[in-house]
Structure 1
Amino acid sequence: MLKKKNDQNPAENQTTAEIVKKAKKSSDFKEIKKQVSGVQISILYFSTLIEHKTMERVFLPYINECEKQKNHSFDINHFKNNLPLEDVISTQDAKEIEDKIHQGYVLISFENNSEEFLLVNVSNLSEGIRKTNETENEFSVTGPKIGFVESLDTNILLLRSKLKSPLLTTEEFVLGTLSKTRVTIVYLDGITNEKHIETVKKRISEIDFDIIWDSSAIDQIIRDNSNTPFPLYVSSERLDRISYTLSIGQVVIFCDGSPHAISGPSTILDFFIASEDYYYNWVIGSFFRLIRIFGIIFSIFSSSIYVAVVTFHFEVIPADLLGPLIKSRANVPFPPLLEVLFLEMTIDLLREAGARLPTKVGQTLGIVGGIVIGQAAVAAALTSNILLIIVALSALASFTTPTMSMSNTIRLLRFPFIILSSLLGGLGIMIGFAALLCHLFKLKSFDTPYMVPLYPFRRNNFKDSFIRSPFSQINKRPDFLKAKDTIKYTQNEKIQKKEDINDE
């Protein structure tokens, strides 16, 4: 939800004593009382949020050592400056105290000073975070397998280890009135366009939401159009892909607790680009990219073309194919529309069931279930065998997209075209296609046209769109990003000579 930021917090109208009283209702909130130089101090913390080794080996031994020094007068500043921990805060702000103790800080209150408090960071919020960082959903045969995890600090570490540049800049926000989720935007200072940075910062700062559970929630809240099925920002768990988007001048958003980062401004062609395209020779990479784009077109239109041809346009069917088609549909009691919808829904049910079940069971269900149900449907004359092949190939083609968000969009788009083709035939498909283009031309990603370089037309950006040109020709950043520094690397004879040798 985007609206005027509501900064009100119940802690603003509470005293620290009321906050502590409320926290003591939880069974994991602990209190320890100690005497330090004749002054009683209270140590309060959530035992589930702290690092117990730091507490037992560093913090408490220092307190016990101070407890023995009874001849010295107590000084809060001296106590604070000599604590052998890095993050120690002196505060009187009740709101800050409430926020910090829920982040793993220890609260220290003093008997002789009811207004001054110390907050000491002994947090252990990385407990339970996944340690392995292999890319599970964006697998590639060639190239690195390093991906992000659910820890924000770990993800920034991985990014800085990949991009060892002083230009890499991070800015952190805290979102969620209940979750207090850390969100970080990352960009290359001096390269990324200031307008895009300010747009992202403005939209994130305006978020007023209770729980930010994943980066996908931020994606939905800040997007330019919430009524479109198309993803407007690239979401990826791959370190190499996010590093590439940063290098060309995009802004990246990380969310604590999410292994996916989102980057923008993005165009529709970004969702058909795979990291592997840059690990192969440019000819092979371009071929795979074209196959991917053709597969998406086939996935959207194949079933609807079948319905249109069988229902309205028999004359376009070759004579040699007309006999087998009539024979396969001779005993099917349903019209082509219901026949296609039945098979499409069956494929989607198998896909959803396979995704929700454990890996081994899901794979077995997808393979065995598809074969058994397909053969049984043809044998029972519920569908024709030709349509079964078309729908199966259409389902396979939808998986060629490197990003799952675009794959889900492709699955959805098939159904409106199927219905339109059953009503108006080929004319319905053309009307649907025209409406789809109009919708795409209106979309924007961080106020940048979604259909670049097709609309507005950008001739220079075609070098890395439908095909992946040699590295000697894609040394400039895309024009639509309006980067401050448009040159990625110097085009020289060594690169050209190396590519010519590889091509031979």
Structure 2
Amino acid sequence: MFFKKKLTNYKKEKGKSVDEDNTVPTNREEMSNEFRKRLQHSADILETDVAGTGITLFYLHTLIDMNLLHKDIIEQIKNQSFHSIENIMEQLSVAIKDKTNQLDKVIQSAISGHVIIQLEGESEVIFARIASNTGRTLSAAMNETQVIGPQIAFNESLSTNLSLIRKYITDPNLSIENIQIGTQSTTSVSLVHIHAIANQQMVDLLRERIKKINIDGILDSSVLLQLIEDNSLSIFPQMVLTERPDRICSWLLMGKLVVLVDGSSLAIACPQSFLEFFQSMEDNNIHWQVATFLRLLRMFALILSIFFTAFYVAALTFHYEVIPQTLLIPLSESRARVPFPPILEALFMEFIIELLRESAARLPTKVGQTIGIVGGIVIGTASVDAGFTSNILIIIVALGALASFTTPNYSMGNIVRVLRFPIIILAGFWGFYGIMFGFCFILIHLLRQSSLGVPVLLPFYPPRLADWKDSVIRLPLTFTYNRPKQTRPEDDYKYDPLDAKEKE
């Protein structure tokens, strides 16, 4: 109750602080004072009077390409006389330009890389975009590497990322909708879909979620993802982040929706199923037998990473009968010098592994690799010699850590790492019953999750037999002629299988 009252008072005070006079002053000095006042008298504000024209330029020099300013604006209008804003508009060769009489729009344009052009006595001004290009060039994907297929990745420029998508998909039905988010730092967000394929209800739902966001600013697409996903309290992501334009275009052709944020090199795609987090784009570029083997390997690695160490703890604490007799003797000898119970031993080693992995990730590349390898060997050997852990647990923990790296998606890989700890604790207190309880809890939780209203466990729950052809296994591409039911596409088929058979 007190929080709601405080929030209401905040909104009232914020509403009172808005200046009701929002029209552009016709006088040059008044415009200068208002422009500087709105931008808090920032040091990068510059004004340029074009001699003999009655025109004044207002801009932020930190956002402007000064060469373009002189070439495309000043050189075009100097030593000329203009009677109206329309005459100036006709003279300018800048591609992106418009006019307005709203001061808020003028300020927003200035901080977006536009130069403001005012003619003395006119109630309207022109804003022309000549922003400087400060982004990095296109490069290979760093986090989602693949051997076969395109190597290019998104960068932090929204226009560049959209042009990459346009390059892959030359369909006139490709729809790009721009939305502005943020009250303090306005960020451009693009909602992308193929109009003839994507489900319109999903498009409307995602658009509504984005427009309802009321926040100071969005600096990265990962922040936006947490604000628009179905259940932000769940540890499992319901939408995927990717840096690969080929993967995004493949999903667009399936009927999925894509969201790009200006300033972020990651794109959001939805709806997503749980299995798609363990699928790589390279699976589509290799033979179906190899792709199926790799997908099965990743699913086995998922189970191994989460439950292998917990199985060790449960077996040594409660269930000695499941250990083969030939292994029981060397296992007992290995643990003879360890003074801790299996649960503390396992948690200690898992903590050390995560500590090494996190420190190696934060250090420079060459130093991080050295710390990871040398640190793992030294600490592992020293722990066994000191009697803190057994040789067998070192092997088990190393296998579990190695298995977690097979997950192609970074976010899901982090979740696999986190889930090991509660499962180990449950195994230490209740043995195999605790492991089964943890497994059932995870399964029930996943059954309740959805991605843009679509269950995340599709195509297995609810069962969609047509989508099993490209799930844990991947059948030949000639069998996958239909788009996944998960996206509820307007057009169900990628191609006509009967027509393709006749041509073959």
Short-chain TM bin: over 0.9
Instruction: Give 3-state SS (helix, strand or coil) of 2:188's partner.
Output: strand
Q: CA deviation at 1:98?
A: 1.1
Q: CA deviation at 1:466?
A: 0.5
1:212 is aligned to 2:218: yes
Which residue identity does 1:75 align to in structure 2? Answer: S
Give per-residue Cα distances to partners, 1:439-496, cap 9 Å, x unaligned: 1000010011111112111111111000111011111011121101010123258679
Residue type of the alignment partner of 2:57: I
Matched, 1:122 2:134: no
CA contact (8 A) 1:472 1:495 kept: no
Corresponding residue to 2:296 among 268, 287, 290: 290
Q: Which amino acid aligns with 2:365?
A: T
* Separation (CA, whole Å) in 2 of partners of 1:212 and 1:292: 34
Pick the aligned partner of 1:151 from 116, 141, 157.
Answer: 157
Offset, 1:119: 1.5
Q: State the Cα deviation string for residues 35-58 of structure 1 (Å, max 9, x = none).
A: 445xx2221110111111211212
User: How far does the alpha carbon of each residue in 1:291-316 deviate from its partner, in whole angstroms, 9 at most, with x for none?
Assistant: 01100111000011111000000011
Cα shift readout 1:344-383 (whole Å, capped 9, x = no counterpart):
0111111111111111111111111111111111111100
The equivalent residue for 2:436 is 430
Q: Tell me the distance in 2 between the aligned counterparts of 1:194 and 1:409.
A: 32
Q: Distance in 2 between matches of 1:349 and 1:13?
A: 57
> Aligned equivalents of 2:47 and 2:268: distance in 1?
41
Alignment counterpart, residue 110 of structure 2, candidates 89, 97, 101 = 101
Mapped pair 1:29 → 2:45: yes
Query: When the two structures are superposed, what TM-score results if normalisation uses the length of structure 1?
Result: 0.92
CA distance in structure 2 between the partners assigned to 1:423 and 1:496 by the alignment: 63
DSSP 3-state at the match of 1:134 = coil
* Closer/same/farther in 2, CA of residues 235 and 297 from structure 1, 3 Å limit: same
For the residue of structure 1 that corresponds to 2:251, the secondary structure is helix
From 273, 281, 289, the counterpart of 2:287: 281
Q: Distance in 1 between matches of 2:283 and 2:169?
A: 20
Structure 2 residue aligned with 1:86: 95
- List per-residue Cα deviations over 1:116-148 (Å, max 9, x = no partner): 222222222x31x11032100111122211111
Partner of 1:327: 333
Quick one: which amino acid aligns to residue 465 of structure 1?
S
Superposition TM-score, scaled by structure 2 size = 0.92
Give structure 2 stretches of 5+ with no counterpart.
1-6, 25-30
Structure 1 residues 318 and 132, CA gap change in structure 2 (3 angstroms): same
* Gap change, CA 1:24 and 1:56, over 3 Å in 2: farther
Q: 1:337 aligns to what? A: 343
Runs of at least 4 residues of structure 1 off by over 3 A? 6-19, 492-498
Tell me whether 472-481 or 302-311 shows the greater mean CA deviation: 472-481
Corresponding residue for residue 77 of structure 2: 63
From 163, 175, 178, give the equivalent of 2:181: 175
Q: Secondary structure at the match of 2:78?
A: helix
Residue identity opposite 1:475 in structure 2:
Y
Mapped partners of 2:40, 2:344: distance in 1: 61
Matched, 1:52 2:61: no
Aligned equivalent of 1:306: 312
1:486 to 472, 492, 498: 492
Pairing 1:366-377 to 2, within 5 Å after superposition: 366-377=372-383
1:454 to 452, 460, 483: 460
What is the identity, as a one-letter code, of the residue corresponding to 1:119? Answer: F
Q: How many equivalent residue pairs? A: 485
User: Is the 1:174–1:183 contact (alpha carbons within 8 Å) kept by the matching residues of 2?
Assistant: yes
Q: Does the 8 Å contact 2:189/2:259 carry over to 1?
A: yes
The answer to whether the Cα contact below 8 Å between 1:471 and 1:495 also exists between their aligned partners in 2 is: no
What's 1:502 paired with?
none
Match of 2:407 in 1: 401
Deviation at 1:396, TM superposition (A): 0.6
Once the two structures are TM-superposed, the CA of residue 21 in structure 1 deviates from its matched residue by 2.5
Confirm or deny that 1:352 pairs with 2:368: no
Partner of 1:253: 259
**Residue pair 1:11, 1:95 contacting (<8 A) in 2 also:** no
What SS is found at the alignment partner of 2:338? coil
Instruction: Tell me the secondary structure at the aligned position of residue 401 of structure 1.
Output: coil
Bigger mean CA deviation after superposition, 140-149 or 296-305: 140-149
2:426 is the alignment partner of 1:420: yes
Look up the SS of the partner of 1:186 in the other structure: strand
- Closer, same or farther in 2 for the Cα pair 1:421/1:488, shift >3 Å? same
Aligned to 2:198: 192
For the 8 Å contact 2:190–2:261, the answer to whether it is kept is yes
Would the alpha carbon gap of residues 327 and 133 (structure 1) be closer, same or farther in structure 2, given more than 3 Å must change? same
Report the Cα distance in structure 1 between the residues aligned to 2:435 and 2:65, rounded to whole angstroms. Answer: 61
Q: Please tell me the residue identity of whatever aligns with 1:322.
A: L
Structure 1 unaligned segments of length 5 or more: list them: 499-504
SS at match of 1:263: strand
Q: Which amino acid aligns with 1:96?
A: K
**1:438-477 matches, cutoff 5 A:** 438-477=444-483
Q: Which residue of 2 aligns with 1:501?
A: none
CA separation in 1, counterparts of 2:342 and 2:422?
15
Contact 1:11–1:98 (8 Å) recurs in 2? no
* 1:83 CA drift (Å): 1.7
Residue pairs, 1:156-167, within 5 angstroms: 156-167=162-173
Please list the CA deviations of residues 182-216 of structure 1 after superposition, one character each: whole Å capped at 9, or x if unmatched. 11011011101111111110000001111211100
1:50 counterpart letter in structure 2: I
After TM superposition, the structure 1 = structure 2 runs for residues 1-20 of structure 1, keeping only pairs within 5 Å, are 10=18, 13=21, 16=24, 17=31, 19-20=34-35
Q: Secondary structure at the match of 2:156?
A: coil
Match of 2:50, as an amino acid? K
